[in-house]
C-alpha cells in the first residue's frame, strides 16, 4: 500500500488516491518501462485476455492498450480522473472502452467479465482489505472467468517508513 502517512486505514487509502491524482502527469516518467517487450507484457499476450475485460486501477492506460489487442471490450476503473484522462487520450476514440471513475474500495460491478486484470495494484490493497478485494474480483467474474495480475514486492529501505513488517510504504 503506497502512502506517505495518515491517521487511519481509511485516511491512508484517501491519501493513496490523492497521491496518484497529484502525480498523474509525471507518473510515467518514474514508472518502470512496462509493458513493451518485457516478460510481463509477453506473459499477458500468452494469457490472451479475450472477451469482455475489466481492468482495475488502470492508471494512465499503458496496459489498457495491450488488453485491447485481445479483448472485445475493456472496462477500466480508476479513482483518479487525471489518470483516466491520460488513459482516454492514449487509447483514443474507441467504442470498445469504457472508463469508470471510482474508488475500488467502495465500487461494485454492474455486470460480470471474462477476465479481470490489474497491474501494480494488488500491492496497494492493505492486508485487512485483502479478502474483501478478492471477493470483489470473484463478483466481477463469469463462472469460468480468469484473472491476470502483475506486481512487484521489491521495497527499498527508504520506502519502508514503518519498518519491514508494515505494508505501508
Ligand X SMILES: C[S@@+](CC[C@H](N)C(=O)[O-])C[C@H]1O[C@@H](n2cnc3c(N)ncnc32)[C@H](O)[C@@H]1O
49 scored as a contact of ligand X (CB under 6 A): no
Half-sphere exposure of 161 (CA within 13 A, CB side): 9
103 scored as a contact of ligand X (CB under 6 A): yes
168 scored as a contact of ligand X (CB under 6 A): no
**Residue 89 CB partners (closer than 8 Å, separation 6+):** none
> Which is nearer to ligand X, 3 or 143 (by Cβ)?
3
The one among 3, 20, 99, 116 contacting ligand X by CB under 6 A: 20
End-to-end C-alpha distance for the chain, whole angstroms: 6
Applying CB under 6 A, which part among 4-12, 89-97, 100-108, 141-149 lies near ligand X? Answer: 100-108
152 scored as a contact of ligand X (CB under 6 A): no
- Cα Rg of the chain (Å, integer): 16
Applying CB under 6 A, which part among 4-12, 38-46, 54-62, 132-140 lies near ligand X? Answer: 54-62
79 scored as a contact of ligand X (CB under 6 A): yes
**Residue 113 CB partners (closer than 8 Å, separation 6+):** 51, 52, 53, 54, 75, 140, 141, 142, 145
> Which is nearer to ligand X, 108 or 144 (by Cβ)?
108
117 scored as a contact of ligand X (CB under 6 A): no
CA-CA distance, 74 to 99, in Å (whole number)? 8
Find out whether 12 and 97 touch, Cβ atoms under 8 Å.
no
List of residues contacting ligand X (CB under 6 A): 13, 16-17, 20, 31, 57-59, 62-63, 78-80, 83, 103-105, 119-121, 124
Amino acid at each position: 500500500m503506497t502512502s506517505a502517512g495518515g491517521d487511519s486505514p481509511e485516511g491512508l487509502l484517501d491519501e493513496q488516491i490523492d497521491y496518484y491524482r497529484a502525480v498523474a502527469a509525471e507518473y510515467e516518467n518514474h514508472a518502470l518501462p512496462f509493458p513493451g517487450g518485457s516478460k510481463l507484457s509477453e506473459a499477458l499476450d500468452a494469457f490472451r485476455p479475450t472477451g469482455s475485460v475489466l481492468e482495475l486501477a488502470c492508471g494512465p492506460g499503458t496496459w489498457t492498450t495491450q488488453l485491447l489487442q485481445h479483448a472485445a471490450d475493456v472496462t477500466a476503473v480508476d479513482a483518479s480522473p487525471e489518470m483516466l484522462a491520460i488513459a482516454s487520450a492514449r487509447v483514443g476514440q474507441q467504442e470498445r472502452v469504457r472508463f469508470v471513475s471510482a474508488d475500488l474500495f467502495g465500487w461494485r460491478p454492474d455486470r460480470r467479465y471474462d477476465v479481470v486484470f490489474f497491474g501494480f495494484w494488488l500491492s496497494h490493497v492493505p492486508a485487512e482489505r485483502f479478502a474483501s478485494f478478492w471477493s470483489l474480483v470473484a463478483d466481477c467474474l463469469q463462472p469460468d472467468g480468469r484473472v491476470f495480475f502483475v506486481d512487484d514486492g521489491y521495497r527499498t529501505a527508504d520506502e519502508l517508513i514503518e519498518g519491514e513488517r508494515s505494508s505501508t510504504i
